[in-house]
Structure 1
Amino acid sequence: MCVDVCSYLASVGLFYQIAIFPKSSLSLSDFVCINLLLQYGIKCVPIIIFLHVYSSMGLNHTKHDDISFTCSTIRSTSVPIFHKSCIFVSMTLLTFSYLLLLLSGDIEVNPGPFPTPTVTHSTSTCNSSTITPINTSFDPRRFTFVHLNVQSLTHKVHILETELHNHTILSFTETWLHEDNITSDIDIHNFQTPFCRCRKTKTGGGVAVYVKDNIFAKRRVDLEPTTVECVWLELFMGGQSYLYGTFYRPPNSPVSIWSDIEYSIDLAFNTKISKIIITGDFNANLLTNNYQSEYLINIINMYNMTQLIEEPTHFTEETCTLLDVIIVSDSNILEKAYVGDCFLDKMYVIIVLFMRR
């Protein structure tokens, strides 16, 4: 079926000639647009249009008689200079804004309704009365694990030691440590030297894991991608081997970080150790449907794991969120998991799990 291309373009309202290359050479905007298209694909089409419109306002293109546009007069001299200036400023702002979104790495190419997750969410309300005291049901015959977002470890070591010294493994996120301040000052009595992951440049973040002296623990750096803030340990307890991973995902991370987290977990599953425990702060609220929680749920379901925490783990005056998780390859590994009470100045609540010795 024969269709006049020029008539088709005019009929759909394409007012500007955005695909004409000068006979002499390509313009700078053409090079920029081609580079964006090759690097980012079809999602950068809007910015390509903006760039062409932007460049066409400052150039006096030769009129081509073989193609006519419905609104070719929009670039004629009859348009007041003030109106042209307004269009120029608008196109500049739109182009700059789209560039920022494109470079942020957090654009959903195909946003849409959330698929129904197979991980059940708690219907808990913001009621801190459901929180259990830290040492409730504490049994020295059990291995116990604790995760806590500490927001600076250095100045809280003493209170952490006082409150948590009975437990077997202590996992802390947002330690805010640097390699130069990992000294004996952060040691805890009867625990091995902490296994730490620190940021080398910017402040914040960080992971530290303390293991009791009588437990065999081996760092598994081979499971830790350089782009992910995590610590993997191989533990030998009660005659069995476990992989124990602690993760921290900053809230402003690019979407690509989820692929790196998935890769780290995949490496763990490709070892010969079947008992895997994952804890940490993924900054994905599992009490609501959102893109971040959906990424985490998809990873959990992909490896047929179980997320055990159902109550909120972080409270403010107006909100409660479930950001801290306990994920296991086999729910029979643990006897019990619950959210403990808060003893720090921030409303970050600890998570405790129990395992048979």
Structure 2
Amino acid sequence: MASLNPLAPSFSPSKLTTSVHSQHHSPGAGIPGPSAHGSCTQNNLSAPAHRITPLTQSFIRLSFLNVCSLRNKVAEVADILQQHNFDIFGVAETWLDSTTSDSDIDIPGYCVIRHDRPVRRGGGVCFYFRSGLQVKPRPELSDDNIESSWIEVKGRRRRQLVGCFYRPPDEPILYWQNFEEQLHRAFVDNPSITVIGNFNVNVSTPYPPCPIARKFLELCNCYGLTNHVHAPTRISPACPSGTTIHLILSASQDISECHVLPLTISDHFEIEANLHLQVSRSVSPQEVERVRAQRNTRSVKLCEFRRDVSSAGLDDFTNTRDVDTMWASWHTKFLAVVDKHAPIRYVSSNRKSHPPWSDRELHKLNQRKSQLHRRWLRDKGNQNLHVQFKQARSSARNAYRRKRNDFFRAQCAASSQNPRKLWNVINSVTNRKRNNRTCLESAVANYIFGQAIPSLRAIIRHLESKYPEEQEKAHMVDELS
């Protein structure tokens, strides 16, 4: 009996902090199972339903980034989504076309909706949204005159339209007329609108001297949309002080905690915010493990606690002689007092996961980059600090890619004798599913990792003899060689 912790929320010895929905506990042991969303009972201990269910959240984590070619940066985008746990992620300048399938840019745990530029190269927008969210694509709200994409997020009490836009710098003045028509079409359908995107219009000052920027903000105000991004979102040699061209437009009460985050995968900065919309979504086991139960001991008044313990009758064992019954009676009475003064609350640990190739060197490079960026933001006229920040950003980007490549090379070398593991590594690098792999890619991969075909000429002969449909691609390889 002396070894048991009386402050634990169950009879078994445990710490003050216990994990909810843990696989090591069963519902009968005092921890609710995955299907117990309504209440939590732990030896006569109950808690409100909203404290224990991680399936309901009062806001959506929203983000936007101009990536400048998504195809070769899918791994970096996947790392951002994993580290920051975004629910909706808008991307501009995807540079995708009909030759790129959705499986080429697939990220596990997320669905993708894209709108490619129909004619010339570049441009394009897309959405990544968590697969557990109830999202409906709204292609009827978009048109070919503007690079945009719309989705509708279903909340518990309302629906929210979210649009992602990209406006090229050389777009004519006719763009704003088309933008107003599209905005009006969305507003008639649903007044709850949030717009994110890169409009290439600098709105960094309260009253922009640019007439286009002033007209743009007045147009947004007509529909009740307010810009929530006020820090520079891109630094360029032409404007070392920074320009605010990436915007989050929504009603003032719908957005909170808007931040600008400098990243290393693009010369554009990432913007993020919380969109206030109560939604229900499925939660992965990793997220459930991060929800913890702990007692709130900050507001305990020791004098009142001692008085209640003394008057609780903890030493009254007149009705029984059984040791287990006596312990259960004492434990129940004592927990009733503890629950009154230090109730249980359920919180998230907010632990950010890092990629497996992250180490101390990469952490120091990112710290150095962040320090120089903060110093340069305080003194934007200092060109020396600007140059040092760009060098540190390049060093961090190159180190990240080098360590990532070394990690996958080591994984391939370790799996060289196991084809199944090897293909899992290849698919994780290329973000392609097994059934979308072409014969040419299989042959080239086999050649690279030394599994079957010894030379590039052998690849060509192998394709011509076994896969007639790939002869054209094989001749292309022959010309390149």
| TM-score normalised by length of structure 1 | 0.57
Give the alignment of 1:1-357 within 5 angstroms: 142-165=59-82, 166-192=85-111, 194-271=112-189, 273-287=190-204, 288-317=208-237, 318-328=240-250, 330-344=251-265, 346-356=266-276, 357=278
Tell me how far apart the structure 1 counterparts of residues 227 and 256 of structure 2 sit (CA, whole Å): 14
Q: Secondary structure at the match of 2:73?
A: helix
Whether the 8 Å contact between 2:118 and 2:144 is mirrored in structure 1 is: no
Which structure features the higher share of helix residues?
Answer: 2
After superposition, the C-alpha distances for 1:55-93 in whole angstroms (9 at most, x for unaligned) are: xxxxxxxxxxxxxxxxxxxxxxxxxxxxxxxxxxxxxxx
User: d(CA) in 1 for partners of 2:234 and 2:180?
Assistant: 24
Which residue does 1:49 correspond to in 2? none
Shift of 1:167: 0.5
Residues 1-51 of structure 1: CA deviation (Å, up to 9, x unaligned): xxxxxxxxxxxxxxxxxxxxxxxxxxxxxxxxxxxxxxxxxxxxxxxxxxx
Which residue pairs with 2:384 in the alignment?
none
1:298 CA drift (Å): 2.3
Query: What displacement does 1:220 show?
Result: 1.2
Q: State the distance in 2 between where 1:258 and 1:355 align.
A: 26
Q: How far 1:281 sits from its partner (Å)?
A: 0.3
**Deviation, structure 1 residue 164:** 1.9
SS in structure 2 at match of 1:244: strand
**Cα distance in 1 between the residues matched to 2:154 and 2:58:** 16
Query: What amino acid is the match of 1:255?
Result: I
Q: Out of 233-242 and 199-208, give the one that drifted further.
A: 233-242
- The CA distance in 2 between the partners of 1:311 and 1:267, in whole Å, is 30
**One-letter amino acid matched to 2:91:** F
> How far apart, CA to CA, are the structure 1 residues paired with 2:166 and 2:134?
24
Unaligned 5+ runs, structure 2:
1-56, 279-481
Once the two structures are superposed, residues 220-278 of structure 1 have per-residue CA deviations (whole angstroms, 9 ceiling, x without a partner) of 1221122010001111134431000000011111110110001100011101x232100
1:238 and 1:204, CA in 2 relative to 1: closer, same or farther beyond 3 A?
Answer: same
Gaps of 5+ in 1: 1-139
* Cα distance change on mapping 1:265 and 1:141 into 2, 3 Å: closer
CA distance in 1, matches of 2:209, 2:136: 37
**2 CA distance for matches of 1:293 and 1:309?**
14
The answer to whether the Cα contact below 8 Å between 1:250 and 1:283 also exists between their aligned partners in 2 is yes
**1:141/1:341 Cα in 2 relative to 1: closer, same or farther (>3 Å)?**
farther
Residues 173 and 208 of structure 1 are in contact (CA less than 8 Å); yes or no, is this contact kept in structure 2? Answer: yes
How big is the alpha-carbon RMSD for the aligned residues of Structure 1 and Structure 2?
Answer: 1.8
Range with bigger deviation, 141-150 or 210-219: 141-150
Instruction: Give the counterpart letter for 2:154 in structure 1.
Output: F
Residues 149 and 173, structure 1, Cα contact 8 Å, conserved in 2: yes
Distance in 2, Cα, partners of 1:320 & 1:258: 24
Residue by residue, what CA displacement relative to the aligned partner does 1:175-203 show, whole Å, maximum 9, x if unpaired?
A: 101022033120111011x1111112210
Q: Which residue of 2 aligns with 1:79?
A: none
The DSSP-based 3-state class of the residue aligned with 2:78 is helix
Q: Is the 8 A contact 1:285 1:292 kept in 2?
A: no
Rounded to whole Å, the distance in 2 between the matches of 1:238 and 1:143 is 13
Residue identity in the other structure for 1:153: L
**Who is 2:445 aligned against?**
none
Deviating runs (4+, > 4 A) in structure 1?
A: none
Distance in 2 (alpha carbons) for counterparts of 1:232 and 1:154: 21
State whether residues 68 and 95 of structure 2, in contact with CA within 8 Å, keep that contact through their aligned partners in structure 1: yes
Aligned equivalents of 2:59, 2:137: Cα separation in 1 = 23
Aligned to 1:28: none
Amino acid in structure 2 at the alignment position of 1:148:
L
Q: Amino acid of the residue matched to residue 255 of structure 2?
A: L
State whether residues 61 and 86 of structure 2, in contact with CA within 8 Å, keep that contact through their aligned partners in structure 1: yes
1:259 is paired with a residue whose SS is: helix
Are the aligned partners of 1:196 and 1:207 in contact in 2 as well (CA < 8 Å)? yes
Structure 1 stretch displaced more, 296-305 or 252-261: 296-305
> Does the CA contact (< 8 Å) of 2:228 and 2:255 recur in 1?
no
Name the CA distance, whole Å, in 2 between partners of 1:290 and 1:173: 23
| Distance (Å, rounded) in 1 between the aligned partners of 2:218 and 2:191 | 20
